[in-house]
Amino acid sequence: MKSTQDVGGTAIIGFGATDVTRQPTEAIGQYAVRAVKAALETAGIDKDEVDGYVGAPGLASYSTNHWDGADEVSAEYMLSALGLKPRWSADTSGLVLGMVAAARGALLTGMCQYVVGVRALYYRSGSVYSSVSSSAIGGSEQFTMPYGFGPGGARHAQWLARYNSVNGATREDLFAIVKAAHTHARLNPRAYWKHSTLTLDEYLESRWVVEPLCLYDCDIPVTGAAAFVMTTTEAAKALGVPFATVTSMSNGYHPRGALDDAGLVASDIQVCQLYDGFASFPYFWYEALGFCPDGTAHRFIQDGTIELGGTIPTNTFGGSLGEGRLHGIGHLHEAYLQVTDQAGARQVPNVEHGVVQVGAPDRSWIAVVSRGN
């Protein structure tokens, strides 16, 4: 047990999110700033009190230009935009839970008191989101890109093809994940697919991106941003705002590490936010986290098990498949909303602990997020 009780805990005390769109009328920096202002407001924290900043600008897509302030925002850019000179700041890799892990370290070692974390994504309709036009490829991709292997989730398509073959799973099975995402998105006014009426037939007839992944198995690229405010559990209690405790975290190489450190097992979890950049990803986690035996996730998810009202409601905000591709900060946002009873029409009753997992199956972080008290 190396859990938070030994060293004091950390908490998420505020969250802000912008609209998501495929026709942005503002630059990414404006989305990011709007998200931060909303997060500070819900936390009841003044800008001048912020003494920590964390971001994760990278990993947007193959066709991203990586232009700071145009299609991604670095810590430097955000600190300048917000007029902040924090005691601690960092850009991390590892998507949004890498940010949370770094923030925990900074807070628990006393480097700062209030950390703002920002994740912003940019997409404008009309551009091809995931494509490669380089004529020369070095580094690790020199062994894959000459074969056209990389964009469109090809690596994940191969993973799914093997899963399907070994376990006898079908596209009809996988639709349960997409269906849950679209069903939940209808309860999320921010979701891109909030008016979705997707049927199994439409799903089966949609075009392949990289077979066996079809259009609806891929998350939808959007522009949008979200931001959180974290502090120590002690400070959160003193503030008197609703807060979520970050109970435990582990790297995906140790799938049950976060549950073990919290002294929990799968059946102690009331709600899951599992990263769904591709619909196949959650298969891996239902098995690795212990919700079902290996090789059976495609059966476990059937019959509404993962929808609101089921045994383990998952991606209750629609996930990246339904809300839009915000690279996991939507998942963390929903975990915060669920354990603070702010999820509105999609609130799961009596949530004590939620699991958040962000990243592809082979490079992930997992957190247990709990009701603050």
Near other proteins by CB under 8 A, which window of 140-148, 184-192, 265-273, 351-359?
A: 140-148
> With binding defined as CB under 8 A, does residue 138 bind other proteins?
yes
Candidate residues 44, 80, 125, 166; the one interacting with other proteins per rule CB under 8 A: 166
Query: Closest approach of Cβ 218 to other proteins, in Å?
Result: 11
Q: Which stretch binds other proteins (CB under 8 A): 64-72, 80-88, 92-100, 136-144?
A: 136-144
Q: Please tell me whether residue 133 binds other proteins under the rule CB under 8 A.
A: yes
Q: Which 199-238 positions form the footprint of other proteins (CB under 8 A)?
A: 207-213
Of 372, 47, 50, 15, the residue nearest 228 (C-alpha): 15
Q: Which of 144, 170, 199, 302 binds other proteins (CB under 8 A)?
A: 144
Is residue 126 a contact point for other proteins (CB under 8 A)? no
Report, in angstroms and rounded to the nearest whole number, the Rg of the chain calculated over CA atoms.
20
Total residues in contact with other proteins, by rule CB under 8 A: 39
**Which one of 145, 198, 225, 337 is in contact with other proteins (CB under 8 A)?**
145
Q: Minimum distance between the CB of residue 145 and other proteins, rounded to whole angstroms?
A: 5
Closest distance to other proteins from the beta carbon of 81 (Å): 34
What's the half-sphere exposure (Cβ side, CA atoms, 13 Å) at 348?
29
Peptide bond into 212 cis (omega under 30): yes
* Cβ partners under 8 Å of residue 92, min gap 6: 54, 55, 56, 98, 99, 101, 102
CA 74 to chain centre: 19
Residue 12 binding other proteins, by CB under 8 A? no
Q: At what angle do helices 281-288 and 154-167 cross, to 10 degrees?
A: 60
C-beta neighbour count of 227 within 10 angstroms: 29
CB of 141 or CB of 341, closer to other proteins: 141
Q: Is 48 exposed, middle or buried (0-12, 13-18, 19+ CB in 10 A)?
A: exposed
Residues that bind other proteins in the complex, under the rule CB under 8 A: 62, 128, 130-140, 142-152, 154, 157-159, 161-162, 165-166, 207-213
